[in-house]
Every structure is written in C-alpha cells, then in structure tokens.
Structure 1
C-alpha cells in the first residue's frame, strides 16, 4: 500500500512539474478555456506606467488580443484590421486590449505604425502569457528579435496569437487560438461573434 501511495505521489509531482514547463511548440500549449477567468496581473502601458489588467477589464467587456510583437508582419496586419473595425467593436459594447512581450517603448512604435488607438500593453516578462497557457519556447532564430523588442527582459518565450472575449469579471466567453501564426480571426467573424454573445 505504501509503495502504491509513493508511486501516486511521484506521478502527481511529475505531472505538476510538467505543466509548469513552457511547451517547446505552439502545438503543445494548454490555454485557459471558455468559462475560466483571465488572471489578475500588472502590465505596462506604452507610457511605461503600471496598469492592473483586471481593473481595465472591469470597465467594459473586452476583446483581449495576444500578439507576438510589433516586429511580426502577421501581427501588424491583425492589429491594423482591428483598428479598422474598432468602431464596430465599440458599437457592440466592447473595448480592445492587445498584449505582447514588446517593451513599452516598442508599443509606442507599433501604435504609430499600425494607427492603433486602442490599448496596447507590455508583458515583457511573459507572466500573463504563461498564466493564460499560450506561451511556448522561442525558436532559436527568433531569440535575438525577442531580446531586442523586449529590451532584454524576454529571450525565451512567445505567445501563440490568440483572441479572448471576456466579460467585466474576466470570464472567457469566446476564444480563438491559432498555432499557425499566419491564421488570425477575421474581423467580420469577430464582430459577428460579439453581436451574438449574450
């Protein structure tokens, strides 16, 4: 009996350890699910000010976007498309918040380049990305890019591009997660989802 108990405890310990490791591939992530809550974290604004994500979410239902960084051409196209659809999204009762591992300084560059008026936030340490379960290990050829754009804070992880629709309590109502960096939810589909969510 003791031997069985020891095996069970050992199995639990190794399972917990395995879950705390960052997946090697975008295909191996274990994201939060619909009905779960976005965890509370303090992130940085483009002005390098601390902001509590939960406090922002409480203001209005939110389209919460995770993108790889302003250096990623597919992310820039997605951010621009969101900017173009922002009025429709606001009219549906939502705000847009986009989070990346970029440093606050690099958020400013992205705001200007992509003509973004909605909120961009920095998660340079990758704490929120890990907590949401969408972090994976940076492929070797991206490490220097990530290092530069996070001002040396992050050299090891990227988020899988994701969109979460959350209520003011931070509960996930809808999610779109694509390990294929070229595939993003279309703004037409997103706006349709928002209009149909209760």
Structure 2
C-alpha cells in the first residue's frame, strides 16, 4: 500500500512541475541572506569568502522519506564535504517546528533555512504550487501541507542540489522533477 501511495504522489508531482527548469551550471548563483535553524545569519556572499564552495539543496519537508534519506546521507558524509571546504545549506518551505522534526529524524548538523516567502526557491527556479486535487490527495494520505508549511499556499520545491564555487558560479546541478531522485554524495564530492 505504501508503494502505491508513493507512486500516486510521484505521478501527481511530475504533472505539477513542468514549468520549472532550475538554474544551470556556469551561471552566477543568486545571492541570498536568511536565518538558519540555529539563529545564525546565512549570507551566501559571505560564505563564499570563507569557504571554497557552498552545497545548497532544497527539500520538501520532514514528511518526505526521500528528503530525509538525502539529508541523512549528507549528514553522514558531512566531514568529507567540509574537508573539501564546503558549507552545506538546506532550504525548505516547512515551519521551524517541522525543521526541528527533520533534524530529530536525520541528526542534521548543517544549516537549514525556512524559505517563508519562497524568495530563495524562486530565485533558483525550483518552486511550484500544488493544485487543489493534489493537496486533497496528500490530505487523504495524512499530510496537511497547511500545517507543515504554516500557510495555505501549497508551494514546494523541486528537490534540487547546487554546488556554488567561491566565485559564486554554479559548478554542479542536480535538478530532477522526480522527487525520488537526488544528487549523490559522490557526485557532489567529485566537483568540490
């Protein structure tokens, strides 16, 4: 039954993200500032002065098993990533309370940012809005996006990953509208 639910959600997801393209390698990464889960100010420009690169990834929420698996993989390999001079940032539309649930599930110790107004998601062209039929299907499976994200806008990101080099240029992109597919740690390490 669980596989059927995930298949149904996957099929529905791919219908809603046809307009998103994401950014490509070789382009200047949009700068942003935000506050992470621990209250730390995150400024992309400042981070790129202190680190060789930034690994920026977008995830849907603590309710997404694929997101949690990816976050856990990044956490498990965090020493390898930081040893290559990378700073890791996760971006999500979920509330601060749900970010805490993500951290409890994954033990993530890197920065996670709530993108309340979706400015970061929009600037990286990963945002999309679920239609009401999909929102209602999610509710039928026990997922209340209004509660998860703290609003009724139903915006989620394509779970993309970007590696941004110290010059502010995107050197790696993993952008797949199938939310089950994520960048591997080895792919990320190969470009750091």
The TM-score bracket by the shorter chain reads 0.7 to 0.9
Deviation at 1:146, TM superposition (A): 2.7
Query: CA RMSD of the aligned region, Å?
Result: 2.3
In 2, distance between residues paired with 1:134 and 1:63?
A: 15
Q: 8 Å contact 1:37–1:172 — kept in the other structure?
A: yes
Task: Mark the CA change 1:167 to 1:44 in structure 2 (over 3 Å): closer, same or farther.
Answer: same
Aligned-partner SS, 1:170: coil
Q: Name the larger-Rg structure.
A: 1
CA contact (8 A) 1:44 1:50 kept: yes
CA distance in 2 between counterparts of 1:117 and 1:148 reads 24
Q: Which residue of 1 aligns with 2:4?
A: none
| 1:109-165 per-position Cα deviation (integer Å, ceiling 9, x unaligned) | 21122011111111022121011111112232348633212222x523111011100
Name the structure 2 match of 1:148. Answer: 147
Number of residue pairs the alignment of both structures matches: 171
Q: TM-score, normalised by structure 2?
A: 0.78
Structural mapping, 1:1-198, within 5 Å:
25-47=16-38, 51-60=42-51, 61-138=53-130, 139-140=134-135, 141-142=137-138, 145-152=144-151, 155-194=153-192
Contact 2:26 2:171 survives alignment (8 Å) = yes
Give the C-alpha shift of residue 47 in structure 1: 4.0
Is the Cα–Cα contact under 8 Å of residues 163 and 173 in structure 2 kept in the other structure?
A: yes
2:12 corresponds to which residue?
none
TM-score normalised according to structure 1 size = 0.76
The answer to whether the 8 A contact 2:93-2:118 is kept is yes
* 1:86 positional shift: 0.7
C-alpha distance 159-58 of structure 1, shift in aligned 2 (>3 A)? farther
| CA distance 1:148–1:54, change in 2 (3 Å) | farther
